Structure 1
């Protein structure tokens, strides 16, 4: 009890210090304290002079800054909350929800209260809406990454916890620096965001510990995480001893398979694009011209929505939802690896093949305008096929519920709708669609053979060699003797047999 009281007082003192520091800084900003304004403006102008001329550096800073943006913050918290509910950890899920919502409300409320304008620099490299103090990116990154660290600390070994804390601190500091370097916040804006973030994170963590105390649970040091008892449940893949048995062999097989698929796609693409004039394939490729003659405003709008279902943002959105769900439900990385490799493989094969074949688009009006890639194969259709077919391949063998057929239906309906819309909008020939289908078939087959995404029972769930064996009971009736050679001697023997 004495130890708990001491830790509690120290934590409250730290939270109080952060709150007082933020209050003082808010007053200085609100009443336009001249030395602070001079310092802020001087740093903003100096950084702008150093960074604005270097466009690659600006791109890197924008990418780092996005780690503190609302889309990534909401996805991280949302994925964690869904996973925690699936793993039956509602207390931790509620903690993340309350902490995240609080950060979302604090940012605009404080900005409205202070009403500080954003920096004015000579060469603006980034524009942001709203007021300046405090920095929403600094506040959000401090709260979200800090809360996730507290929730998932029990999943880490003691040696890894210090590294995880250092990584979180690095990300938070880097996000804050980018907001200053990009000229959308003053130094005091970022400091204010960090201070109020620390205060809010401390308040919510303290409230969670009081919740545990009221429930009669022990109160370990905060370095053990919020819920040490949930250690196994917050580990992403507790039932998986290794993702792939032989990763270097798998990498070599994937590279070899990728090269073979690329060669087959280029050969097929060159054939249908330049060497089948006057054949049935050439006649079939006039379908976009027939569709263009039957366009209507209603069909134009409908095709736009279907086409958007296969663009990069929609595919990425679905994949970012599917991966955390699979990890939470199946407790294994292998299905996630299968889906991720499918998407990266599709993208790389599409870009390389389109560049090599360089097929012109159909000779009709292109409703989507001029695109930077060629016609063969269709990237929209290939991405849609790969995504939904991969999801069906993963889901169908794992459940006997009726909704597994929903994934099969999506693997048929979604690519079909996207294919019709892309041809209707004059962006692809039917043979481009065939190229996307060929890409999907070969890539999914390769990954199925190498990754074996549904091989959950062998060898990952075999007990380790030194695991205690269950006591054997004598059979009720004497049976035929079993030769000792008929039983695998150890785990290595079982794995060797299954690998064949």
Structure 2
């Protein structure tokens, strides 16, 4: 990603009109999200039908289960819960309010909210259609009513914290910018491992959840057209 893309909201800080915002959201977020949804459902169908549910992934889950310890049980509980719906929404609301207050740019502040909203929509419908059972392992977390595929925890944490990493590029102090970028990008990795360790998802569920969150983060980041600096 180029420096111009990372600082696109600095390059053109002009507010969009309501018509421009709705047009861009429809063309640059909602329409591509349909393609993403179709891709995720197609992958899920491939896993469940021609590939027979990838039963070898249950062996991986049981292998991870055999390595559990009380210490790692406690650590991964924290990592897993970072991706809980209520925590993701709460962190997002606080972040949107803070960025809006600091920048006075609502169209920039809503980027994380767009990311998690689109991710959640794609995830909820896809998981209802595919209906994949959870791994045949001891589950350390309560199983939500959704099915195993794709991982909603992984998708939500990726969508949220990747947008935070993109927004962190505005920070002027290099050491703080780099530190926060690394921390934000590390969070989804920890959530994904936590969900695998705790027997809540197959590896492919986590990988596709990562795909869902990453694409939604990028759609949110580019949701609004920004002018090229040479045309301003």
Q: TM-score, normalised by structure 1?
A: 0.41
Unaligned 5+ segments in structure 1 are 1-238, 463-493
Give the alignment of 1:188-267 within 5 angstroms: 240-242=14-16, 246-253=20-27, 254-267=29-42
> Alpha carbons of 1:403 and 1:255: their partners in 2 closer, same or farther (altered >3 Å)?
same
How far apart are 1:404 and its partner, in Å? 1.2
Moved over 4 A (4+): none
Give the alignment of 1:13-412 within 5 angstroms: 240-242=14-16, 246-253=20-27, 254-277=29-52, 283=56, 286-412=59-185
Give the alignment of 1:7-18 within 5 angstroms: none
Distance (Å, rounded) in 1 between the aligned partners of 2:56 and 2:192: 18
Please list the CA deviations of residues 324-353 of structure 1 after superposition, one character each: whole Å capped at 9, or x if unmatched.
221122221122221111111111111111
2:109 aligns to what SS in structure 1? Answer: helix
Distance (Å, rounded) in 1 between the aligned partners of 2:109 and 2:185: 22
How far apart are 1:424 and its partner, in Å? 1.1
Distance (Å, rounded) in 1 between the aligned partners of 2:215 and 2:86: 24
* Structure number, greater radius of gyration: 1
Distance (Å, rounded) in 2 between the aligned partners of 1:348 and 1:422: 20
> Alpha carbons of 1:245 and 1:397: their partners in 2 closer, same or farther (altered >3 Å)?
farther
Distance (Å, rounded) in 2 between the aligned partners of 1:317 and 1:450: 22
How far apart are 1:285 and its partner, in Å? 5.6
Please list the CA deviations of residues 382-429 of structure 1 after superposition, one character each: whole Å capped at 9, or x if unmatched.
111111100111221453532112332123321111111111111101
Asked if 2 retains the 8 angstrom alpha-carbon contact of 1:381 and 1:419, the reply is: yes
How far apart are 1:317 and its partner, in Å? 2.5
Q: Which has the higher contact order (CA 8 A, sep 6+)?
A: 2
Distance (Å, rounded) in 2 between the aligned partners of 1:448 and 1:370: 31
CA RMSD for the aligned pairs?
2.6
Q: TM-score, normalised by structure 2?
A: 0.83
